[in-house]
Structure 1
Amino acid sequence: MKARFTGHETFPLRYGWLQKAVNQLNNKGNLSISSDESVREAVIELGVGKNMVSAIRYWAEASAVIDLEAQAVTEEGNYLFGKKGKDRYLEHLGSVWLLHFWLNFNYKNLTAYRYYFNFSNARHFQKAKLVDDCIEQAGAICTGKIPNETTVKKDIDCFLNTYCHKQTVAKKKGAINEDHFSSPLSELNLVEDTGGGYYICDLVERSDLPIEVFMYGLLRFVAVETEQSDSTTMGFDSLLTKPYSPGRIFQLSEGGLGQKLDQAQLYKESGISWTDSEGLRQIAFDKNSLANPKHFLDIYYKGA
């Protein structure tokens, strides 16, 4: 794993950016910033400044909707944002949950948000402490040079601005700062800014997380974890606390994960069953379901 705490130019993800990136590449455009000509082309086509071109490029790659090396749209990108995409304008909250999963289900690069959602156990935290913890974790699991404190702080600021509704301190008490409405991920209410550099992210049931998106994330995780074995079972605790698990990424409480598994078990064609008796909590999976997790997204969008 490599540390990657730069690239977004401190811009939080905004509505419309990922669709712009997908359209640009599908229309044979270019998102490369390796030459002045390609940058000028992207500035004209996307209708934004140079720094925003870099930010769009960063978020589109980070969310796995484009392949920068190939300068091409991925299967995920076309699935959601292509000409026949399921939700090009992120009108369904399930699409935002899906985007959150894609951003954080990444074993290759560590960012501030991937650190927090996959490795941190801090529920009520101070931003300054999060910077220190993130640097420490990067030093423990990443190869190559670890960015300095200033760089990590900027990435954490961007992470928090992407996921939080910021409260203004001027004019009307409790008013929402319109500058932060532009990030779709703030709709998930995963992280709350309580003021003074303090934040809260409680583990809860996540009733607004569609069961189909949960099952997609669950099966993606299990497929990776069982790739080198023939195992079709996994312990409850692994699904709750292991990095990149649905419990971690979706920030589910123990009861919340249990409820989602109950729903999944009753879901038609889920191929999922689980036991919770005498201290043994184990989940069993059907190999056919593991082979096609996108099937459940198709069901979600058919009924959305």
Structure 2
Amino acid sequence: MRAKLTGHDTFPLRYGWLYKAVNHLNSGGKLQTSKEDETQQAIIRLGVGKNMVNAIRYWAESAGLLYSKRKQSNIDYFTSKNGNYIFNEKTGKDPYLEHLGSIWLVHFWLCFNEDEMTSYRYFFNIFNGEYFEKQVLLAHMSDDLVKLTPSDSSVNNSTIRKDIDTFLNSYSKKHIAKAGDEEQFRSPLTELSLIQESGKNYYLSDLNSKSDLPIEIFIYALLKFVQKESLLSKVSKVNFKSLLLDPLSPGRIFRLSEQGLGEKLDAAQNYSNGRISWLDTSGLRQVSVDSAYLNQEQVVLDSYYEGASNV
């Protein structure tokens, strides 16, 4: 794992940026900033400054909506399957993030990554605090990054602090636009209410049932996690505790309580007609996924958007 604490230029994610990144690339635009003419074209077409071009690319790439290929000394960016699935202006399921499930999905994509460590991935996958001070989060992350990214000597407290500030500015309810502010300056991630300000430099991120998390998005995350686990164990079963506490698990990424995870698993069992099932008996809580259902995460997403479009 390597640290990825820069690239956003301290800009939190904003509404419209992911749409702009995907469709700018699809229309033949470029997002790298090494060539001045391409940079100026991106500034004009995206309607933002140079640093914001960098930030747009950062957030879209971090969410897995873009991927890069190096060609000699240049890096070219391309739209991924996930990027087109949601944000393509012609075929995308929800290019303007009108459905809350799409924002939950973007959040999952941002955090389901074990290759590059960012402050939000650290918080949602490793940090255990529910009520915390920013300085305490900084201290914990600084200590843990020494173990998590041992080969990366570029990490320092100043860089970590800026990344944490950007993370909190993207997720915290305190950054919802005030009356009169323009909607595009809000981060869509604040809609999830995963983090709330609770006094100066104090924050609350409680564990609960996340009643507004659509069951299809939960199942998508569950299947992705079990797929990852099954590569190691060769079986499509996972311990309840792993689903609740392990890095990259739905319990971690969605900040579910133990009761909340149980409720989501009950709903998933009903939704899947038993193809996802779980036992909760004395001393054993285990979740099983039918092997024929294990790779149906895209079908589940399609079902969500079919239902959402009919509302």
SS in 2 for 1:276: strand
Corresponding residue number in structure 2 for 1:201: 205
Corresponding residue number in structure 1 for 2:33: 33
TM-score norm. by structure 2 comes to: 0.92
Please list the CA deviations of residues 9-48 of structure 1 after superposition, one character each: whole Å capped at 9, or x if unmatched. 1111000000000001111111111222221121111111
CA distance in 1, matches of 2:232, 2:146: 27
- Contact 1:167–1:195 under 8 Å retained in 2: no
- Post-superposition offset of 1:144: 2.0
- For 2:139, the aligned partner's letter is D
- For 2:203, the aligned partner's letter is Y
Distance 1:157-1:177 versus aligned 2 partners, 3 A rule: farther
Q: 2:84 aligns with which of 75, 78, 86?
A: 78
- For 2:241, the aligned partner's letter is D
For 1:93-242, what aligned pairs fall within 5 Å after superposition? Answer: 93-142=100-149, 143-166=151-174, 178=181, 182-242=186-246
Distance 1:130-1:146 versus aligned 2 partners, 3 A rule: farther
In the TM superposition, structure 1's runs of 4+ consecutive aligned residues that sit over 3 Å from their partners are: 175-181
- Post-superposition offset of 1:269: 5.2
SS in 2 for 1:14: coil
CA distance in 1, matches of 2:153, 2:189: 29
CA distance in 1, matches of 2:203, 2:233: 40
Please list the CA deviations of residues 155-194 of structure 1 after superposition, one character each: whole Å capped at 9, or x if unmatched. 00000010012279xxxxxx77947961000000000111
- Cα RMSD (Å) of the superposition? 1.7
CA distance in 1, matches of 2:26, 2:208: 39
- Post-superposition offset of 1:214: 0.2
CA distance in 1, matches of 2:272, 2:234: 24
SS in 1 for 2:208: coil
Q: 1:260 aligns with which of 247, 251, 264?
A: 264
- Contact 1:139–1:146 under 8 Å retained in 2: no
- Contact 1:240–1:254 under 8 Å retained in 2: yes
Structure 2's unaligned 5+ residue stretches are 70-75
More displaced, 48-57 or 178-187? 178-187
CA distance in 2, matches of 1:203, 1:263: 18
Matched, 1:88 2:92: no
Corresponding residue number in structure 1 for 2:299: 295
- Post-superposition offset of 1:288: 2.2
CA distance in 1, matches of 2:34, 2:292: 43
Corresponding residue number in structure 1 for 2:66: 66
- Post-superposition offset of 1:270: 6.2
Distance 1:287-1:183 versus aligned 2 partners, 3 A rule: same
- Post-superposition offset of 1:268: 3.5
For 1:47-58, what aligned pairs fall within 5 Å after superposition? Answer: 47-58=47-58
Corresponding residue number in structure 1 for 2:72: none
Matched, 1:12 2:12: yes
- For 2:82, the aligned partner's letter is E
CA distance in 2, matches of 1:137, 1:39: 37
Q: 2:287 aligns with which of 283, 288, 291?
A: 283
- Contact 1:166–1:176 under 8 Å retained in 2: no
TM-score norm. by structure 1 comes to: 0.94
SS in 2 for 1:290: coil
- Contact 1:135–1:146 under 8 Å retained in 2: no
CA distance in 2, matches of 1:197, 1:261: 35
CA distance in 1, matches of 2:112, 2:226: 12
More displaced, 40-49 or 153-162? 40-49
Number of aligned residue pairs: 298
CA distance in 1, matches of 2:154, 2:32: 25
Please list the CA deviations of residues 49-74 of structure 1 after superposition, one character each: whole Å capped at 9, or x if unmatched. 00100000100000111113351100
Structure 1's unaligned 5+ residue stretches are 169-174
Please list the CA deviations of residues 216-251 of structure 1 after superposition, one character each: whole Å capped at 9, or x if unmatched. 001001101111332121100000000000000000
- For 1:136, the aligned partner's letter is D
CA distance in 1, matches of 2:237, 2:58: 36
